[in-house]
Structure 1
Amino acid sequence: MDFFSTIPLESSEIRLLRLASKEQDAPGLRGELFVTPLFRPPDFTALSYTWGDPGVRSEILINGNAKLSITTSLEVALLALQREDAPVALWIDQICINQDDAREKAVQVPLMSQICSSASQTIAWLGPATDGSDLVIDFLDSIGSEGVEVGLQDLTNEDVKDILAHAAADPGWLHRSPSSLGPTSNMEALIHKLALQHGEYPIIHNRNWYHNPEKHKIQTLGYLIHKYRSRPQFADRRDRIYGLLGLACDADTLGIEVDYTKTWEEVYTDATKRIINRGKIDVLSMVEYPKTSSRLPSWVSDLNMTRRDSILRDVTITSIRPFAAAASTSHLPPLDSDEQPHILTCRGVIVDHMHEVGRQWALKEDGVSRSPLGALLPCSDVVSYIAIPIVSNHPHAASPARRAEATWRIPVIDHEYIDASVGTSRRATTVSRHAYDEDVAEVIPLTDKQSEELEHVGPQEREARATQMRIARLRLSATAQSYFGLMSAIWHRRPFVGKGGFVGVGPLEMESGDVVCVLYGAMVPFVLRPINDGEGNQYALIGECYCDGIMDGEALGMGLGEEVFRIT
């Protein structure tokens, strides 16, 4: 890519691609790269797209003599955007930024938000048209301009929640004429005007909407990392951090410098520590174990992995009464020096030591579908744990009523939905208790018997019995089915009982000898694994957990000694 040296950039400049029009005698893509000030550019379109498979390549001829390698997915997008009669000015990160120059990327990537704001329009390329997609785009096109006219850009997030709740209660609402809907009866998504033009799908943002403070005010870097965690693989893993900095409201205070000479492990580690230093220790709830790289500390989330939902996502982000295991304490930031960037030092208390772990909650076992009753096996484990003396004699579970309460709170991680259509939740109430008592409690004794029987039959028989039990589940009450659905919160988790008598649900990878601890400033407890390296107080972070009896700060009033945890 030596030709980039012929069109160098200053810190306040960007390159644009002038994509040549289609010509019968010159097939293929051609264009001219030129430099322009970012604060006063000509009209141009910013292109948002998925890079696609980096190993499948095509070419574009730049400035008449240089062939630039691009992904095939970008080639398809450019062919759709290419005009018949005139060139079009575009900004495309893959072409306008020298991807082989770490220093240039460190300057240009943080400007991406400004670049999109300066563009006359932003086009999101979703791919070639498929069966039925034209109808969807035509429908959205028909209502896009009307949405702006009636003031959709003034909608807040709370308005949108109300609208979605209305749509869930009255599905026929969606089939009525859009022109009959008032400004508080349209979804925020309709602000995007989508049109079908020669195969491309442009999303033309209304600028008032794009700069709406309501839309951006809670988008911290930690929030954005969580939000985009499940998105497709980034072409450069470091861009899971660097690519979001331009959208993060706390980017300046975090002070993260874009540096493509660092490995992705170093980038994730540095960003996580900076987020925690700003008092956001709950970013640890995104952690999974083990990692895909041994160079990633246990307390840093491997953002390239698809992972289970966090307890915080399921229960407390929109909860009326969120968990507060130690959220009211004064959080002390990491104490280690820059010479030990892989170590996170936190303060807190050890609540219990793991005694036994139960069976995982999953709809399949050894590749064979479990029946709904079989999926209730963790409930059986919880019931048996609560009945053992170390639990029944513990002060927090001394009364029969309190032990009974724990049996139905733990399997749903103490939450229930107020309105599932918009994701609002609350701590579990008598609604969940009645669902558990009326149906679930009666079938729990059958789960162990069924499990024993299935050990002696083959896969086909197990699948046949699973089908029978799925049919039986249809006979459960609506509230019982709702309770069963809420158990998805413990997907790929398992119950545990501690030596001190605490019962809860934790990561699938936890084992006997791990400790349940509360870290100062955190909303939920965590499971740590002691490391015997001779230095003492060293731990690996296994993951977050729900521990009955300490989710509202009770552990801080138990007189437990403060610990210093050096997490590697």
Structure 2
Amino acid sequence: MTILIAPRVVPAQLPAAGHKQWKGLEFIYWRCWWNQAWIVQEISLARKAVFMCGETNLDAHDLFAAASFLHEHKLTNATMIDLTSAINLAEVRQACLENRKLDLFTLLISTRMYRASDKRDRIYSLLGLCTDEDASTIIPDYAMSAAEVYTNFARRLLNRGTLDVLTAVGDFRRRCIPDLPSWVPDWSISSRTQEFLLPGKEISAAASKDSEAKLNFSGNLILHAAGLVFDTVVDTGLPFVFPYIDMQVAYIFSPMETMNRAPFQHAILNWFVSYWTAIRLDEWKGFLSRLKTFGYPTGEEASHIYLRTITADSYPVADLESAYSAYCKTNMLSKPDREVKVEEIQESATFRTHLDRACHGRRMFLTSRGYLGLGPLMTERGAKVVLLTGGKTPYILRKEKSGEYTSRGECYVHGIMRGEAWDESIANEEFRII
């Protein structure tokens, strides 16, 4: 059994994992500064930016270039540096420098990990970067509550005929703002998931084909949407969320702990992540026996369906089997019969990226008609898989005792993502989403 503790970095003339030079970078990239909402505008609009850390000055270009290098060469596991904020900030800054168009919704998703002491500033702090109509028509009004600001913005998006805002709803259990309708994202919290429709990294989805959205509102809080119930969730797997890391992340990854961590602690943390992932994927494989017994509606092999589902069909199908094999060899899921090749390590890292994007913060589910999918953490038995007019993905809705629905968010269902289940003639059921 082989465990990939850290990729070799010697050929690139870089220090070994755990070296004090890596710890210096960790100390910089783990600082709370990277998660402040207002820095996005400050850094992105500056023609030249300099980072000051103690008595050291660092050119922003160099710091972003280092983050890009580590990210592109899959060195984050070796260093345990979280580069998400730095990479996203660099992308927004580059877009501004190149005068590319930026809409507020895309900016909000791209900067989801950033925090603001005033929750309304998650939206207001980005207006200076927008190039769409929101930049001139949304006027900061601090007399409004955060719930009102978020709800009004969600309505603006929906009134444009796009349901993309429903993909960003997120985990209900972590919501911080009371009185927020279920169809409105809580932008004040970071998301455990990467939205399936994240601009630039979106999966191929046209579940409702090219239908036009049919929406209206009751008052300001109830969304009326037209569509059809495709199926009902009958079983769910355990959530793909690292439990120990979620609870202890502030301790494990604090700057001081990072500076003091020995090389073997890097190995232990990497081992834990790989081991936990192996356990969760093994648990999800329990759905395979049912697929093999009853067959799948599309006629595909169960193992093939499983692999396409855990990557949300984002990985090239022709390379999927070999990539998964490489991933198993380097992440404790199988016993290799030979030494793992460098190419397999790289292929494994790429597969792991697709796996994490699709699965993290979600759970696997099975429907009554035998379809396999990935849904939000709050997906539960009895929930409805719904296709809405104008929607790109299916959605998970829960029917309440009042007859109204609460939105749980987007989902992936293998076999219906390209309109296979869409029928315009019966897509006229009204869903009152509160």
CA distance 1:435–1:390, shift in 2 (3 Å)? closer
**Residues paired across the two proteins, number:** 349
Q: What is residue 226 of structure 1 aligned with on the other side?
A: 109
Q: Deviations over 1:447-476 (max 9, x none)?
A: xxxxxxxxxxxxxxxxxxxxxx9x99x959
Q: Which residue of 2 aligns with 1:130?
A: 54
1:335 matches 2:246? no
CA contact (8 A) 1:276 1:283 kept: yes
SS in 2 for 1:301: coil
Task: Judge conservation of contact 2:274–2:332 (CA < 8 Å) in 1.
Answer: no
Separation in 1, partners of 2:304, 2:62: 49
User: Helix, strand or coil: the match of 2:431?
Assistant: strand
In the alignment, which residue of structure 2 is the partner of 1:432?
Answer: 320
Preserved CA contact (<8 Å) 1:351 1:518? yes
Give the structure 1 partner of residue 118 of structure 2.
236
Which residue, 307, 314, 317 being the options, matches 1:415?
A: 314
- Letter aligned with residue 216 of structure 2: L
Instruction: Please state if 1:483 is matched with 2:385.
Output: no
2:405 counterpart of 1:405 = no
Q: What are the equivalent positions in structure 2 for 1:123-522 lying under 5 Å apart?
A: 128-130=52-54, 133-134=56-57, 136-137=58-59, 215-217=99-101, 219-233=102-116, 235-251=117-133, 255-288=137-170, 289-290=172-173, 291-312=175-196, 317-318=200-201, 322-326=204-208, 328-332=210-214, 334-337=215-218, 340-364=219-243, 370=272, 372-388=274-290, 392-396=294-298, 399=299, 401-416=300-315, 428-436=316-324, 440=328, 477-478=344-345, 479-480=347-348, 482-489=350-357, 490-522=359-391
| CA RMSD between the two structures | 4.5
Q: Which residue of 2 aligns with 1:550?
A: 416
Which residue does 1:19 correspond to in 2?
none
- Structure 2 distance, partners of 1:324, 1:507, is 19
Aligned to 1:335, what secondary structure does the other structure show? strand
Cα shift at 1:373: 4.6
Letter in 1 for 2:222: I
1:309-347 deviation per Cα after TM superposition (whole angstroms, max 9, x unaligned):
333256x6346x722222511122x3124xx20111111
- Rounded to whole Å, the distance in 2 between the matches of 1:257 and 1:280 is 22
Give the Cα–Cα distance (whole angstroms) in 1 for the partners of residues 325 and 222 of structure 2: 46
Deviations 1:522-542 (A, max 9, x none): 222211111111xx3x11111
Q: Per-residue deviation at 1:375?
A: 1.5
Instruction: Using the TM superposition, give the Cα deviation of residue 353 of structure 1 relative to its aligned residue in structure 2, in angstroms.
Output: 0.8
Structure 2 Cα separation of the partners of residues 293 and 129 of structure 1: 34
Q: Deviations over 1:403-437 (max 9, x none)?
A: 33211111122123xxxxxxxxxxx3221222335
Question: Relative contact order (C-alpha < 8 Å, sep 6+): which is higher?
Answer: 2
| Equivalent AA in structure 1 for residue 112 of structure 2 | R
Partner Cα distance (2:213, 2:425) in 1 = 18
Aligned-residue offset at 1:493: 1.3
In 2, Cα distance between the equivalents of 1:382 and 1:432?
A: 18
Partner amino acid, structure 2, of 1:512: R
When residues 281 and 371 of structure 1 are mapped into structure 2, their CA distance, relative to the original with a 3 A threshold, is: closer
State whether residues 254 and 274 of structure 1, in contact with CA within 8 Å, keep that contact through their aligned partners in structure 2. no
| Higher gyration radius (CA) | 1
**What CA distance in whole angstroms lies between the structure 2 residues aligned with 1:437 and 1:280?**
39
Q: Secondary structure at the match of 1:299?
A: coil
Secondary structure class of the residue paired with 2:430? strand
Instruction: Describe the shift of the 1:524–1:346 C-alpha distance in structure 2 as closer, same or farther (beyond 3 A).
Output: same
Q: What is the TM-score with the length of structure 2 in the denominator?
A: 0.67
Alpha-carbon spacing, 1:559–1:550, altered in 2? closer, same or farther (3 Å): farther
* Identical-pair percentage: 25
> Structure 1: where are the runs of 5+ without partners?
1-50, 53-72, 74-92, 94-111, 142-159, 172-188, 193-204, 417-427, 447-468
> What is the distance in 2 between the residues matched to 1:363 and 1:293?
25
